[in-house]
Amino acid sequence: MKKIFTLIFGLVAAMCFTACSDDLPNDNTELITMWVSSETTTVYDEWLDADMECMLVKFSPAAEWEPMNLGRIQGFIYEKGVEYELSVYRTTPANGPSAGQTFTYRLDKIISQTDKRVVVEGLERYYTIPYEGGEIEAHFTSNMPCQITKVLGDNYGNGVTLEKEAEGMYVIRFSAEENTGMGRVKTVTLLFQNAEMLSFALWQNPRPFGKSEKFVLTEEGTLGYLLGDGSYLGNITDITIRGQLNANDAYYLKKIINKDGTSMDQSGRKISVNLAYSGFSSGTKSYYSDYGICDLPKEFLPVVFNNEVPKGVFTGNKYISEVRLPESIKAIGNSAFSHCPQLKKVNIPAACKKIYAYAFYSCTSLEEVEFPYIHNELGWPSFEKIEESAFSDIGRLKSFVLPESLKSVATTALSFYVDKLFSFTEEPPVWEIPGNAGYVVGPIPDGCTLYVPYGCSEAYKASEKWGKFKIEEMPEENWWEMIP
């Protein structure tokens, strides 16, 4: 009896379980066809608070395109520029939408794919014309019809023409007369049937450079194209630059100064650089970077700061002999002029507050550090900080100024010989080394005359450090006339 009851109970339970199982909802999966556009769109995501790139899809040939997240279709890797027809499993979850998604998608197969991207062969990023003038005839092929839609840049030469030679085959023609100025460039933009655009440049070399040249930068990053291919750079000995320089320009400025391959005697070659009408900008943008003319990867460019001589921009330059800095400069960067063996003359702008470590280290010919604003009444010296070895291992200076603004001097910052030293403070300067009270290794007394404010000589003579110098007082009036 007990066994019969157990058997009946089991059959009833199984029937109940089966009935309950039949009542549970199931996922609904269907095989559909969908189309994916070769183009994408952006959709604002409120949760991420950002625009997200999305595919454009539709579920019938006549339907409107609608956005879908990249990666939404499992097993499908989307490539922009390619149009797809897909066979996809679309599943409606039995338990309703998940994370706002009504359906899930899984790739069955790619029915077809059509590359909608422009394929151009034989067209260079830029073409070079010699300064004497010449013609360009550029043949290329394209999988799509195209036309010239825009020509920008320097106005020179005849018009740029595009001719169709055969199906998918084109030729660009352009000619230019002799160039009597700096390098010049015009950019040409082609428009293709799918609305995609492609640009290239026509670059003409400058006329041969003389010994003295002025470069006017109409845009940051354009010094490279003004220089041309560099065939005649070795003849320049006097450079003036007007306009803002960025990191790209700083690189090419250094290239001018370092240029070899000239008939000049390299051992005696000296370069003077006048930057008084220019300044340094931040960033590495090049106006012509899209055309590869004077652009360099960022990792190869020096770091440039607003109103600061870039770190290392002239380091190791064996030809530079004189630099005229703009009055806007507020700092001279780390090692900016270090190891320039022929550098004899440089100015410290009135606005300059910091001279960083090794700025003029091992400039063994340096003899003139000018403070011209004292004469021109442009302002008082304002530099406050001189870092480690900024003026170490240099030549014997004709003069140097210690302004009242000077607050921090590293141990070896001013370790040099000088003929005339001017101190503007009524009390003898005492610079404490952080964590180690004492004097810095300052200017060396040997043969130096220290000029101090009127009526202050006794205080300097009583100083253990400054008393070793030959001390003279500056006149009470017109004292600035003594400063070279």
Domain membership flag for residue 399:
no
Band (pLDDT 50/70/90 cuts) for residue 96 is: low
d(CA 182, CA 39): 42
Contact 450, 466 (CB under 8 A): yes
Contact 205, 230 (CB under 8 A): no
Q: Are strands 126-129 and 197-204 parallel, antiparallel or unpaired?
A: parallel
d(CA 340, CA 320): 7
Phi/psi region, residue 328 (left: phi>0; alpha: psi -120 to 50; beta: rest), is: alpha
d(CA 437, CA 86): 78
Q: Are 65 and 88 found together in one domain?
A: yes
DSSP 403-467: -TT--EE-TTTT--BEEEEEE--SSPP--PBTTB-S-----B-TTPEEEE-TT-HHHHHTSTTGG
Contact 328, 279 (CB under 8 A): yes
Contact 362, 338 (CB under 8 A): yes
**Could you tell me the end-to-end alpha-carbon distance of the chain, in angstroms, rounded to an integer?**
127
Taken in order 256, 260, 266, 267, the sign of the CA dihedral is positive
Q: Is 138 helix (H, G, I), strand (E, B) or coil?
A: strand
Band (pLDDT 50/70/90 cuts) for residue 3 is: very low
Q: Are 93 and 166 found together in one domain?
A: no
Q: Are 103 and 164 found together in one domain?
A: no
Q: Are 95 and 129 found together in one domain?
A: no
- End-of-domain residue from the set 83, 115, 147: 115
Q: Are 128 and 100 found together in one domain?
A: no
- End-of-domain residue from the set 144, 176, 204: 204
Q: Are 157 and 200 found together in one domain?
A: yes
Domain membership flag for residue 192:
yes
**pLDDT (average), residues 306-326:** 90
Per the structure, how many domains does the chain have?
A: 2
* pLDDT recorded at residue 46: 83
Share of the chain above pLDDT 90, in %: 52
Better pLDDT: 177 or 45? 177
Domain membership flag for residue 93:
yes
E strands of 20-168, at which residues?
A: 28-45, 50-58, 66-69, 73-74, 82-92, 104-115, 120-121, 126-129, 134-142, 146-153, 161-166
pTM for the full predicted model: 0.73
Q: Give residue-wise pLDDT tens across range 371-396.
A: 877 766 656 778 889 999 999 999 99
Q: Is 16 helix (H, G, I), strand (E, B) or coil?
A: helix
* Cα angle value 178/220/173 (rounded, 5°): 35
- End-of-domain residue from the set 100, 115, 130: 115
Band (pLDDT 50/70/90 cuts) for residue 27 is: confident
d(CA 328, CA 40): 46
Band (pLDDT 50/70/90 cuts) for residue 170 is: very high
pLDDT at 344 over 70: yes
Domain membership flag for residue 466:
no
Contact 244, 220 (CB under 8 A): yes
Q: Are 76 and 133 found together in one domain?
A: no
DSSP 168-197: TEEEEEEEE----SS-EEEEEEEEETTS-E
d(CA 52, CA 48): 9
Contact 344, 368 (CB under 8 A): yes
- Determine the structural domain holding residue 43 and report its residue range: 23-115
CA-closest candidate to residue 88, choices 36, 33, 35? 33
Q: Are 90 and 34 found together in one domain?
A: yes
Domain membership flag for residue 425:
no
Q: Is 263 helix (H, G, I), strand (E, B) or coil?
A: coil
pLDDT at 439 over 60: no
Domain membership flag for residue 285:
no
Contact 227, 128 (CB under 8 A): no
Domain membership flag for residue 129:
yes
Band (pLDDT 50/70/90 cuts) for residue 288 is: confident
* pLDDT recorded at residue 50: 87
Q: Are 157 and 94 found together in one domain?
A: no
Residues in the chain: 484
CATH number at residue 168: 2.60.40.10
d(CA 463, CA 437): 16
* pLDDT recorded at residue 435: 41
d(CA 333, CA 390): 10
